[in-house]
Amino acid sequence: MIKANIVTIGNEILSGQTVDTNAAHLSTRLLTINVPVVSSYVVRDEIDAIVRGLELASADADVVLTTGGLGPTDDDLTRQALAKFLGVELELRKELLERIEKFFASLGRQMSEKNKIQAYIPAGAKALTNIGTAPGIMAEYNGKLLFALPGVPIEMKQMFKESVLPELERLAGAQALVVKKLKCFGAGESTIAEMLGTMMQRGRNPLINCTASSGIITLHIIATAGNKEKAGQMAEKDEKLLQSTLGELIYGRADQTLAEVVGEELARQGKTIAVAESCTGGLLAKLLTDVPGSSKYFTYGWITYSNEAKSSELGVPAELIQQYGAVSEQVAKAMAVGARKKAGTDYAISITGIAGPTGGTEQKPVGLVYISVDSENGCDTQRCFFYHGRQFIRLRAAQTVLNILRLKLID
Amino acid sequence: MIKANIVTIGNEILSGQTVDTNAAHLSTRLLTINVPVVSSYVVRDEIDAIVRGLELASADADVVLTTGGLGPTDDDLTRQALAKFLGVELELRKELLERIEKFFASLGRQMSEKNKIQAYIPAGAKALTNIGTAPGIMAEYNGKLLFALPGVPIEMKQMFKESVLPELERLAGAQALVVKKLKCFGAGESTIAEMLGTMMQRGRNPLINCTASSGIITLHIIATAGNKEKAGQMAEKDEKLLQSTLGELIYGRADQTLAEVVGEELARQGKTIAVAESCTGGLLAKLLTDVPGSSKYFTYGWITYSNEAKSSELGVPAELIQQYGAVSEQVAKAMAVGARKKAGTDYAISITGIAGPTGGTEQKPVGLVYISVDSENGCDTQRCFFYHGRQFIRLRAAQTVLNILRLKLID
C-alpha cells in the first residue's frame, strides 16, 4: 500500500486566519483510492521551513502533496523551496509564460511583471495545468512522487482530480476501499465503544472508528479489499452488524443531521409539524429549517419566552403556569397540545426548561428541561436533565426532542 | 518572544473526516498574546507517531500544544505517548478518578470501566480541569511547556482559556502586553483594511490585525510596552483612532455578539422586542436568546413559515400575500407591525426571504430578503441581497436586521 504525506504552506494557516480545508479534501480523496495520509505538516512561507517540511514528509511516505505558495507575490516560495530540496535550478518554461500571458489577455488585463515567476519550474519537473494562473508541479525524488498544488481550494481540487489522481491510481493499483458512515444519538462515545467491543480493534478490516461532535457520534466503517465489489460487501456486512448491535441509536448515514432524518420521514409520510419553544428560543425551529425544503412539513413555530406568550399564543392556562411553574410537565404538555391545535399539524413538539446560567432553584435547577410530543395518538412528555452550560443545554434539549420524534415516526 | 508549535492528534483528521478547526482557534488565540505558531503537525493515533510529533514540535518552540487523543477509547493514546516522550510512567490520580465518577453520577449513569484511563496522568505532570470527562495535561520538558488538550472543540477552547492562557501570559511575561478587540459589522475585510491603511502595517506597535468569521470582522489591537500601564495607554489611543475611523461599523468589544449588544441596549432602555421570522426559521430568535438574561426584553417570537401562519398569527392579510408574494416589502412590514401589535412590545423585527437552494425565480432570486423594524416611530423596511448558500443567507439576514436595530437603539 502506498502512503502519502501532506505539507500545507502558508502563514495564513499558522496564524489561524484561514482554516486548512485543503488537507481534509486531499485526505478524503486519497482514501477513496486507498492511499492513507500518514501525517500532515503546516509550515510557514519561508524557503527553509518549506524544505524542512518536504524532508520530513518525504521521509516516511511514497507521495508528498503540498498546497499553497505558488502565487505571484514575494511570500510565495514553494517553487524556490522545491528546487532547493531537489537540488536543481528553476528554469523558465516558455510555453507556461505564453499560457499565463494568454490568461491575462483573455481577461482583458496586462500580465503583471510579478506573474512571470509562475512560469518557472524546477529543472526536470513537470508542470500541471491549472484553471488559475499558477501551474502546479510534479517531480520525482528518490523514487517518491512530489506534487505542488495551489492553495486556492477550487484550483487545488481541479488539479488534484485531473493531474494527481490518475498518477496515483496507477501507482496505488490493486487495492480498493469503501467507506461508510453511520450517525448515532442517545449514548456517549464510551458506551458505544463498549457495545461494539472488539469490532473497534485497531488492525481489524473493516476498520471501525468513532468520532463525537455536539452530542452526535459518527461511526466510520473503512473496508479494504482487492476490488471495489469485495470491499463494498465487507462494509455492508459490518453496517448490518452495527445496526443490529446499536439498533435505534443509529439515526442516519453519511452527513445526515437529526433534523434531516426527521424531515425526510415527515415528508415521506406526508405529515406536518409545528414547534413551541421556551428555553431553546428558536433553536429547535432553526435546526428543522436548516434543511432545504423544510417548508413542505414545517409550517408554524412559536417562541413563547414569556408566560403571557404561552397563554395568549398557545392557550396555556395562566393558572397552570401559576400552579406548576412554566418549567413543568403540565406546561410542556399544554404547549405542545396548544401548538398542534392552533397550527392544525399532525405533530407538535414543545420544550420548556431552564437553560441558565441564572434562573435555577434547588427544586428546578439549571439544566432541567421538559419536552413534549403531541400527535393524534396523544401527548408524551419527558423530564430531562442536561449539563455543560446554556448553549449545550439548549442544543441537547433540541436534539433530544428531535430524536424522540424520530423514534415515534419510524415506530 | 516565545514561540509555539501545535500537534493535532487523530486519524479522523488525517482521513479528512474532520477538518482541523482546533489548530486555527489556537493559532488565533496565541497571536492575541503575541505568541506566534511556527509550525503545526497532524499525526495519527499511534504512540510512536505522537512521540515523533512531540519531538519535532518541541525542537524549535518554547510551547507545544496537542489536541485530541484524551478520550476513553483504545485509540486515544495521547497520555501514553506523552508519558513515553517524557520518559515517565502514567500514574492514577485518585482525585481525578473521583471527579470522573462524580461526573457520571451527576448524569445518573455508571462510569464505564473504559473511562478509568482518563484518571491517569504522566508522573510529575499537572492535570488541567475539563468541562468534559478527560482532564488535560500540563508538563515541562527541557524548559519547554507541553499542554495536552482534548480534541472536542468546546472542551479544548474552555481549557485553553482557563488553564493555558494564564500560564503563557506569565511565560510571555517581561514585556507587558495589552490586547483589545473591536467587533465590526457592515463592511468586508478588504474595505476595513483599506480604511485603516498604514495602521495595519506588519511591524507596527500596537499591531493591528483583522480576522473575519461568519460576516463579523474582529480587529485586534496588540500593544507591547515595558509595563502594563504604558501598553494600556497605547492600546486605548489606537482604540479611539479606530473608532473615529470606522464609526458605526464597530458594534462592540471583546467577544460581544450583535445580539448581546442589542440586548444590552434594550435592557438599558427598558425596552422589549418580538420577532417574526419566515426564511430564517428561528435563527434570529435563537441568536437573541443565546444571550443569558434575554427573557428580560425578549418575550414573543413567531416562525410563520407558511402563508397561513403569517395570516393567522400575525394578521398579514391573505390578499397582501397574494398580491405581492410572501417575500415582499409589504409582507415584511405587515409581519413586523402585526408582531409588535400582538406582543405589545416596543420593537418588532421581521424577516422574509428566499434562503434557497430552491424557490427562487428570475424576479425573486435566491438570496433576496426583506427585513423590517417596527417601533412607535413607524416601520422601516429594507430590501437586501445575500449570497453563498442557504445557511449564510439566513445568518447574514439575521445579523443585518440586528445591526439595523442596533443603529436605531443608539441613535
| B4-172 homologous superfamily | MoaB/Mog-like domain (3.40.980.10)
Query: Residues A260-311: pLDDT tens digits?
Result: 999 999 999 999 999 999 999 999 999 999 999 999 999 999 999 999 999 9
Q: Which residues pair with A368 in a beta bridge?
A: A385
| A327 alpha carbon, distance to own chain's centre | 35
> Cell 511565560 maps to which residue?
B171
Of B127 and B113, the one with more pLDDT: B127
Q: Which residues pair with B375 in a beta bridge?
A: B378
On the question of pLDDT at A196 being above 60, the answer is yes
On the question of pLDDT at B142 being above 80, the answer is yes
- Confirm if B350 and B276 have CB atoms less than 8 A apart: yes
Q: How large a percentage of chain B has pLDDT more than 90? A: 70
Of A171 and B8, the one with more pLDDT: B8
The mean pLDDT of B23-50, rounded to a whole number, is 90
pLDDT of residue A228: 82
Angle between helices B390-410 and B258-269 (to 10 degrees): 30
User: By C-alpha distance, which of A43, A19, A16 is closest to B32?
Assistant: A16
Of B34 and A234, the one with more pLDDT: A234
Residue spans of beta strands (DSSP E) within B329-377? 347-353, 368-375
CATH class entry, domain A176-253: alpha beta
User: By C-alpha distance, which of B126, B130, B139, B131 is closest to B63?
Assistant: B139
- Confirm if B149 and B78 have CB atoms less than 8 A apart: no
Domain ranges (residues) in chain B: 4-172, 176-253, 258-410
| A261-410 homologous superfamily | CinA-like (3.90.950.20)
* For A309, nearest residue in chain B (alpha carbons): B300
Alpha-carbon distance of B411 to B405, in angstroms, equals 10
Residues 6 or more apart whose CB falls under 8 angstroms from that of A9 comprise A42, A43, A44, A45, A50, A53, A66, A67, A68, A69, A77, A78, A151
On the question of pLDDT at B41 being above 70, the answer is yes
pLDDT of residue B76: 92
Lowest mean pLDDT among A251-255, B135-139, B171-175: B171-175
Q: How large a percentage of chain A has pLDDT more than 90? A: 70
Q: To which H or E segment does residue B101 belong? A: helix B94-106
- C-alpha distances in Å from residue A252, one per residue of A182, B12, B233: 6, 19, 55
Query: Residues B179-218: pLDDT tens digits?
Result: 899 999 998 777 888 898 888 876 788 988 777 777 898 8
- Confirm if A350 and A372 have CB atoms less than 8 A apart: yes
* For A387, nearest residue in chain B (alpha carbons): B107
Query: Residues A88-100: pLDDT tens digits?
Result: 999 999 999 998 8
Residue spans of beta strands (DSSP E) within A310-377? 347-353, 368-375
- C-alpha distances in Å from residue B411, one per residue of A27, A34, B248, B265, B405: 51, 61, 10, 11, 10
On the question of pLDDT at A329 being above 60, the answer is yes
Q: Which three cell numbers stand for residue A168?
A: 496515483
Q: Is A132 helix (H, G, I), strand (E, B) or coil?
A: coil
Nearest to A28 among B16, B292, B308 (CB): B16
Q: Is B19 helix (H, G, I), strand (E, B) or coil?
A: coil
Nearest to B73 among A36, A193, A222 (CB): A193
A353 touches chain B (CB under 8 A): no
Compute the nearest-CA separation of B87 from chain A (Å).
24
Query: Residues A354-364: pLDDT tens digits?
Result: 999 999 999 99
Nearest to B41 among A15, A41, A299 (CB): A41
Lowest mean pLDDT among A357-371, B99-113, B336-350: B99-113
pLDDT band of residue B166 (cuts 50, 70, 90) is confident
Q: Is B157 exposed, middle or buried (0-12, 13-18, 19+ CB in 10 A)?
A: middle
Residue spans of beta strands (DSSP E) within A214-255? 216-225, 250-253
Average pLDDT in chain A: 92
pLDDT of residue B312: 97
Q: Check whether the bond before A122 is cis (ω within 30° of 0).
A: no
DSSP conformation letters of A54-82 = HHHHHHS-SEEEEES--SSSTT--HHHHH
Of B335 and B102, the one with more pLDDT: B335
Q: Which three cell numbers stand for residue A20?
A: 486548512
> Cell 507545544 maps to which residue?
B64
- Confirm if B106 and B99 have CB atoms less than 8 A apart: no
Helix ranges (DSSP H) in B181-328 = 189-196, 228-246, 258-269, 283-289, 307-314, 318-324
Partner-chain contact B15 A220, CB within 8 Å: yes
Alpha-carbon distance of A81 to A90, in angstroms, equals 10
Query: Residues B279-297: pLDDT tens digits?
Result: 999 999 999 999 999 999 9
On the question of pLDDT at A174 being above 60, the answer is no
Q: To which H or E segment does residue B212 belong? A: strand B207-213
Average pLDDT in chain B: 92
pLDDT band of residue B173 (cuts 50, 70, 90) is low
- Beta-carbon contacts below 8 Å between A and B: 268
B108 touches chain A (CB under 8 A): yes
Partner-chain contact B303 A305, CB within 8 Å: no
A309 touches chain B (CB under 8 A): yes
Lowest mean pLDDT among A16-30, A142-156, A165-179, B396-410: A165-179
On the question of pLDDT at B269 being above 90, the answer is yes
Q: How large a percentage of chain A has pLDDT more than 70? A: 99
Q: Is A323 exposed, middle or buried (0-12, 13-18, 19+ CB in 10 A)?
A: exposed
Q: Is A390 helix (H, G, I), strand (E, B) or coil?
A: helix
- Confirm if A371 and A331 have CB atoms less than 8 A apart: no
Partner-chain contact A190 B114, CB within 8 Å: yes
pLDDT of residue B35: 87
Helix ranges (DSSP H) in A60-208 = 78-86, 94-106, 153-159, 165-172, 189-196
Query: Residues B363-385: pLDDT tens digits?
Result: 999 999 999 999 999 999 999 99
Q: Which three cell numbers stand for residue A348?
A: 407538535
Residues 6 or more apart whose CB falls under 8 angstroms from that of B124 comprise B86, B88, B139
pLDDT band of residue B354 (cuts 50, 70, 90) is very high
On the question of pLDDT at A134 being above 90, the answer is no
Alpha-carbon distance of A36 to B15, in angstroms, equals 7
DSSP conformation letters of B38-61 = EEEEEE-SSHHHHHHHHHHHHHS-
Of B82 and A225, the one with more pLDDT: B82
**End-to-end alpha carbon distance in chain B:** 44
pLDDT of residue A173: 66
* For A211, nearest residue in chain B (alpha carbons): B12
Alpha-carbon distance of B97 to B116, in angstroms, equals 7
DSSP conformation letters of B302-329 = EEE-SHHHHHHHH---HHHHHHH-SSSH
Residues 6 or more apart whose CB falls under 8 angstroms from that of B303 comprise A275, A282, A285, A289, A300, A301, A302, A303, B277, B278, B281, B282, B285, B309
Q: Chain A 332-351, CB below 8 Å of chain B: which residues? A: 342-343
Mutate to test the interface with B, among A15, A34, A63 (most CBs of B within 10 A): A15
B258-410 fold? Maf protein (3.90.950)
Alpha-carbon distance of A181 to A209, in angstroms, equals 10
Alpha-carbon distance of B384 to B366, in angstroms, equals 11
pLDDT band of residue B1 (cuts 50, 70, 90) is confident
pLDDT of residue A168: 87
Partner-chain contact B300 A313, CB within 8 Å: yes
Q: Which three cell numbers stand for residue B207?
A: 499591531
Q: To which H or E segment does residue B250 belong? A: strand B250-253
Number of H-type helices and E-type strands within chain B? 15, 17
On the question of pLDDT at B50 being above 60, the answer is yes
User: By C-alpha distance, which of B39, B37, B44 is closest to B17?
Assistant: B44
Give chain B positions within 8 Å (CB) of A286.
280-283, 286
